[in-house]
């Protein structure tokens, strides 16, 4: 019977480790969603708040990327517009110059010269708009999307998520060892329980510190994302 129990316990340990490995594999680049109370209600609320912030900053980042794509398209179209308009302006001005001897009588030459000069000013305005679009929209949003504050904050949240998964596993381990101690209160089992409980307390303390740090960092990034994106949309 004892041998059977040891074998069953060993299998449970292996399954728990495999489950943790799978969780880490699929959540290593994101924030793991969970409604399980690992420590207490306060920690669960912090976890849910972090998850909300993580999703919000990810959504804002994707929206910013779409704005960048649109602004890049506007700039590209603007450059082609400038290129075509500038050539047309030069052709019109050249035609007007080449036929300027009787410009008062040559209505087409006069019109071409006037239009060419006007076209030149239009393309200058388009060029100024492209520069403004780049400096006021593209560059600031690109910098934020690729900036370290966003990535650093999200990495903190991911670390917290992984630590929480580890704590969830240790909570199960503590419960399992408590049962084992009740069944067989030998020194070896008691020592293993105390070790698991100590690890759980260490994780709890580390989670409290990291959770506050990650929440503050993500909240600051979220606020900056919303403010900057709103300002750049107005600038467009």
What's the mean pLDDT in 65-75? Answer: 91
Q: Is the pLDDT of residue 168 over 90?
A: no
What is d(CA 122, CA 37) in angstroms, rounded to the nearest whole number? 64
What is d(CA 167, CA 204) in angstroms, rounded to the nearest whole number? 8
Question: What six digits make up the tokens of 153?
Answer: 């904050």
Greatest mean pLDDT among 40-44, 71-75, 187-191? 71-75
Residue 135, domain member (yes or no): yes
What is d(CA 132, CA 236) in angstroms, rounded to the nearest whole number? 9
Residue 13, domain member (yes or no): no
CATH number of the domain to which 153 belongs:
1.20.1270.60
Question: What six digits make up the tokens of 232?
Answer: 């750049």
Q: Which of 25, 1, 235, 231 is nearest to 132 (CA)?
A: 235
**Looking at 2-6, 65-69, 112-116, 174-178, which range is the least confident one?**
2-6
234 phi, psi to nearest 5 deg: -65, -40
Torsion, CA 47, CA 50, CA 55, CA 58, rounded to 10:
-140
Q: Is the pLDDT of residue 35 over 90?
A: no
User: Quick check: 124 and 195 in contact, CB under 8 A?
Assistant: no
Which is more confidently placed, 5 or 104?
104
pLDDT score of 118: 95
pTM of the model: 0.69
Residue 125, domain member (yes or no): yes
Question: What six digits make up the tokens of 196?
Answer: 């698991």
What's the mean pLDDT in 132-157? Answer: 89
Residue 15, domain member (yes or no): no
- 126: containing domain: 31-235
Which is more confidently placed, 24 or 156?
156
pLDDT score of 218: 94
Question: What six digits make up the tokens of 223?
Answer: 């606020």
Q: Is the pLDDT of residue 28 over 80?
A: no
Residue 22, domain member (yes or no): no
pLDDT band at 21 (very low <50, low <70, confident <90, very high): very low
Q: Is the pLDDT of residue 3 over 80?
A: no
Residue 6, domain member (yes or no): no
Q: Is the pLDDT of residue 30 over 80?
A: no
- Structural domains of the chain, count: 1
| Residues 6+ away with beta carbon under 8 Å from 149 | 217, 220, 221, 224
pLDDT score of 26: 42
103 phi, psi to nearest 5 deg: -60, -35
Residue 143, domain member (yes or no): yes
pLDDT score of 76: 92
Residue 188, domain member (yes or no): yes
What is d(CA 41, CA 138) in angstroms, rounded to the nearest whole number? 43
Task: Give 99-141 pLDDT, tens digit per residue.
Answer: 888 766 789 999 999 999 999 999 999 999 999 899 988 999 9
């Amino acid at each position: 019977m004892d041998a059977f129990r040891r074998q069953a316990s060993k299998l449970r340990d292996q399954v728990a480790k495999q489950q943790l490995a799978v969780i880490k594999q699929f959540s290593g680049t994101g924030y793991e969603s969970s409604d399980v109370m690992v420590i207490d209600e306060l920690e669960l609320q912090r976890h849910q708040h972090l998850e909300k912030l993580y999703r919000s900053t990810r959504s804002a980042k994707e929206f910013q990327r779409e704005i960048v794509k649109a602004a890049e398209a506007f700039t590209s179209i603007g450059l082609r517009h400038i290129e075509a308009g500038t050539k047309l302006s030069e052709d019109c001005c050249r035609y007007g110059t080449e036929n300027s001897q009787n410009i008062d009588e040559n209505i087409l030459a006069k019109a071409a010269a006037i239009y060419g000069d006007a076209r030149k000013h239009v393309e200058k305005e388009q060029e100024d708009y492209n520069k403004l679009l780049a400096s006021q929209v593209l560059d600031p949003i690109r910098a934020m999307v690729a900036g370290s504050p966003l990535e650093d904050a999200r990495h903190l949240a991911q670390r917290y998520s992984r630590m929480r998964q580890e704590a969830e596993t240790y909570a199960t381990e503590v419960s399992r060892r408590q049962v084992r101690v009740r069944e067989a209160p030998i020194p070896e089992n008691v020592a293993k329980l105390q070790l698991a409980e100590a690890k759980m307390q260490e994780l709890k303390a580390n989670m409290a510190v990291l959770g506050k740090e990650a929440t503050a960092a993500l909240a600051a990034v979220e606020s900056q994302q919303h403010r900057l994106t709103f300002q750049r949309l107005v600038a467009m």
